[in-house]
């Protein structure tokens, strides 16, 4: 049983995992089991070249970012479990006891974060009723999003990145994933606001 399972290894998904992973020193997060289904080959990031993202050297390839971000996650936060080369096909259950079915396995999690792209069709069975046309990309054919209230689709299921209705921009996706992580950490901390920052010891 995972405490949270993140579906998607692109910008928003890995950003969410990094913030959640970095909270391991907090008493309320120290024993939490975090998983990341990183089916990143489907990410639109693969074909990008980035010159306008804060903190990223100009000319950085999206394909490099995908690999480097997952390496970063595993190097600093090895307690976050990567699940690679699997694709989620179905979600069932309710908050506290979800079942996530992939093309290879079944997993169980108390919370779910969906961080996949906004291209149509949406292929995860169990959430079809939440699929709506993308509100900020109406001019782009077949763009969809999941209906949500500040990233929350329904109790226990969050969405981030373009599938949450945000514009397709690396910085926005990263912030969206980090925002969801903050909400999850706050939930784990009995509703008390949480922010996680590392500091230089002087």
- Residues 68-84 have pLDDT tens digits of 999 999 999 999 999 98
Tokens encoding 188: 């784990």
Q: Convert the pLDDT of each residue in 113-165 to its tens digit.
A: 999 989 888 989 999 999 999 999 877 778 999 999 999 999 999 999 999 99
Rounded CA gap, 89 and 96, in Å?
20
Q: Could you tell me where the DSSP H helices lie in 123-169? A: none
Burial class (CB in 10 A: 0-12, 13-18, 19+), 47: exposed
The whole-model pTM stands at 0.94
Under 8 Å CB-to-CB from 78, ≥6 apart: which residues?
A: none
């Amino acid at each position: 049983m995972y405490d949270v399972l993140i579906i998607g290894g692109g910008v928003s998904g890995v950003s969410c995992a990094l913030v959640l992973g970095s909270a391991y020193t907090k008493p309320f997060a120290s024993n939490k089991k975090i998983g990341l289904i990183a089916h990143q080959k489907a990410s639109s990031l693969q074909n990008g070249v980035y010159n306008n993202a804060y903190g990223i050297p100009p000319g950085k390839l999206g394909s490099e970012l995908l690999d480097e971000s997952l390496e970063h996650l595993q190097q600093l936060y090895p307690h976050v479990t990567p699940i690679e080369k699997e694709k989620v096909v179905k979600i069932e259950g309710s908050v506290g006891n979800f079942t996530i079915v992939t093309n290879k396995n079944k997993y169980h999690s108390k919370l779910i974060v969906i961080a996949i792209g906004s291209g149509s069709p949406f292929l995860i069975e169990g959430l079809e009723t939440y699929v709506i046309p993308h509100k900020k990309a109406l001019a782009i054919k077949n763009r969809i999003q999941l209906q949500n209230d500040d990233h929350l689709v329904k109790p226990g299921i969050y969405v981030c990145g373009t599938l949450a209705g945000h514009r397709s921009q690396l910085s926005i996706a990263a912030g969206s994933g980090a925002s969801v992580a903050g909400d999850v950490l706050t939930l784990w901390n009995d509703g008390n606001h949480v922010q996680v920052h590392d500091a230089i010891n002087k």
